Structure 1
């Protein structure tokens, strides 16, 4: 393999590994927007909580890597369900107009509370681990840590299970029905309150899982959720708001673009490239590249 082919292979491999985690975050954000019409700006904080949960279960209680990651997912699922029942459910009962703006402000408030709550509880100290799974794998003279490979595999398996859940189970089909026509789903007997709580909890689970998976690469600290949140929004704007399936491809695409920009132009350029593409999308195709019919664009 010549140098150009080697470099291209490295870009593709690194981009796919990075994009898999972006996809996991973006699917959760897309889910809650597609079903509940909530632009969740606290999504990154559930990523942060997942990282903290995994850190404490792994280092203090000495659970194994898989157990720590799963417990972090369960923890963020429970917190998501509590948040929906105590905050979004009452708002839904009282707020019939300006729902998107009201939930935007609410999630922004949740984000600030969670960031400062984590700071009060655990301080600004970075809390991370050296590795979940020791060692590296050499692929065409390119070394990749076992943690990155395992993280990508866990993300892809989770997305596959989630896809099967949405398409093959009664509850999953109910979620899809609500995303397409909430009134019609309610008429045929779907319990909207259950679906809304489950949807928000699942979205938080996916974010928490991503934070737990990346603990050895990105240590837990109170403000760590900002960048993953931005990346998730990049993906959603790219593919179309609420388009859950396309979020997978969008995450991989953003990962590839950022890796290419970083390797070709240097540090910092990955965000420039992402933002430039998002601006072009908003100007020329504001509903996104794979927008679903009837879904509003970001600018609407």
Structure 2
């Protein structure tokens, strides 16, 4: 590749990786704080896309407001799911928690997929663009859709706001405390029920924001969350389960790997390369390349 192609690869990788990071942070957060391997995470990406579609196309909302509304509605749905399903399970199931929640999230995934089919059918629901037009980068003729660029900056803003929230607010510090030592946090007065609900809801909101941002590129349909879920797990396995801050870097790494694979070998090879690297990580460094668990480790 010449220098202009390298530039194209880098820009594409950064734009793709930013949204991977947003998805992966939500998945890593709920694992790091609640020890839940959430296999319904992709379905919150999906409902975020649906919420944004209806807000933008049906109610004629501003693009930014549509994306924010999608995130807020997913936050509410996530809080309801945690209170109605995970909280009762926590009260009754102390043993085999990880396996039980894994099975529960699979059930939630199936229910959400089929619930969407029942409500809105299997028809693809997309939009032409939030912000029509393309941006030309450099002198090499590379053009990027406005939606992809704005979506990346929304992801950056959401990640920055989340890091600020964890570092600078009392509730954020409580979330970090619970991720490090749940019993100790409880002893000093942290409300575990509130923290668990908030954590799960925030995780769902971040997934929904990613789905809403990419609506013009990936239209809403019931099983659209499967691929983003796989990408999020690629990131978590790569950097270490529950390591929230490293998930930001991991999303960019996965975006770079996929983009280079696509440019070098063609369509379809990006998943092959990613899976090969994940297998090697599991074989030789199963704790991930950063190997630290906890929300605290991610933002300091």
Distance in 1, Cα, partners of 2:38 & 2:294: 20
**Which residue of 1 is the match for residue 9 of structure 2?**
11
The residue aligned with 1:186 is 186
- TM-score (normalised: structure 1): 0.97
The CA deviation at 1:245 is 0.2
Q: Tell me the residue number matched to 2:34.
A: 36
Counterpart CA distance in 2 for 1:229 and 1:23 is 12
Shift of 1:294: 8.4
Q: Provide the rounded CA distance (Å) in 1 between the counterparts of 2:274 and 2:161.
A: 29
Aligned mates of 1:116, 1:262 — CA distance in 2: 33
Q: Secondary structure at the match of 1:34?
A: helix
Q: Secondary structure at the match of 1:144?
A: strand
- Distance in 2, matches of 1:114 and 1:28, equals 18
Partner of 2:117: 119
From the superposition, tell whether residues 294 and 263 of structure 1 become closer, same or farther in structure 2 (CA, over 3 Å): closer
The CA deviation at 1:124 is: 1.1
Q: How high is the TM-score relative to the length of structure 2?
A: 0.97
1:160 counterpart residue number: 160
Conserved? CA contact 2:49–2:208, under 8 Å: yes
Which position in structure 2 is the counterpart of 1:248? Answer: 248
* Aligned residue in 2 for 1:97: 95
Partner Cα distance (2:282, 2:206) in 1: 27
Question: Which residue in the other structure is 2:288 paired with?
Answer: 288
2:258 matched residue in structure 1: 258
Query: Which consecutive unaligned segments of at least 5 residues does structure 2 have?
Result: 296-300
Paired residue total: 293
Identify the residue that residue 237 of structure 1 maps to in structure 2. Answer: 237
Question: CA RMSD, aligned part only?
Answer: 1.0
Residue aligning to 1:298: none
Q: Distance in 1 between matches of 2:245 and 2:285?
A: 19
User: SS of 2:136's equivalent?
Assistant: strand
- Quick one: distance in 1 between partners of 2:247 and 2:58? 35
Runs of 4+ in 1 over 6 A off after TM superposition: none
Q: Give the match for residue 298 of structure 2.
A: none
Alignment partner of 1:221: what SS?
A: coil
- Partners in 1 of 2:45 and 2:210 — Cα distance? 6
CA deviations 1:223-274 (Å, max 9, x no partner) are 0000000000000000000000000000000001000001110010000000
